[in-house]
Structure 1
Amino acid sequence: MVIARIEQSLLRFGERFEQRVFTREELRQAQARGNKARRLAMLFAAKEAVSKALGTGFHQGVAASHIEIIHQPSGKPEVTLHAGAARAAERLGVDIVHVSLTDDDGVAMAFAVAEIIGITESGEG
């Protein structure tokens, strides 16, 4: 995700864009940490990576606002799924989604892994 694209969307659509894509807490954290466009671009990249890990992209009832990425005090990004994203994860048997975010030279990137914590053949979880 090119960070300048998010900057352009923020300038062009403002709050309407923010509220359609991000949760209140995501916006609060991005504002508090400074360099809002960079932070939101990283979050958008993470949301896109999570949607792809769920096998839907932003389709099949999954919207960007259904995927929430909140940074814990340690700095670790934590994924919470809502609405269509939660239903997609449930259909797949996904228990948790892990995400890693980074940016370099004006580009935000993210990697997501959907984990299924199943029961093994021995009956252990």
Structure 2
Amino acid sequence: MGLFFELLGSIGTFLLPFLKEVSEEEIEKNITLLKRYQWFMTQLENEKHKNLIYNDIDVRYIIGKLNPKKMEKKSYNNKYQFKINKILQKKKQSRLLIVLNKNTSQKSTNLITTSFRKQPFKK
């Protein structure tokens, strides 16, 4: 029976970081923190990335999840730089989808508005 509770505790410890909800306050605080880093300021100079950072729910969720206390560590900073770059590139590519219409052989552009998150942030 004790083994069952240990296993359950281990599973909970593993899954807990993936279930974290973030608030708008945490997101804004983390954006302010990230502005100290040149790599993030470079992202903000790009209008498409800036728009995603301030408006896209998935990008904002990733930013809100970061641990400000760990950002001073080079490895954690690099990890988050990679995560933010990855989600920005993914979102930028998924914004516009060019669909080849087989009947007319013309290209049409469709706006894709999908989100990985199902619920808005906590206020």
User: Do both share a fold (TM > 0.5)?
Assistant: no
Q: TM-score, normalised by structure 2?
A: 0.33
Greater Rg over alpha carbons, structure: 2
Structure 1 or 2: more helix by fraction: 2
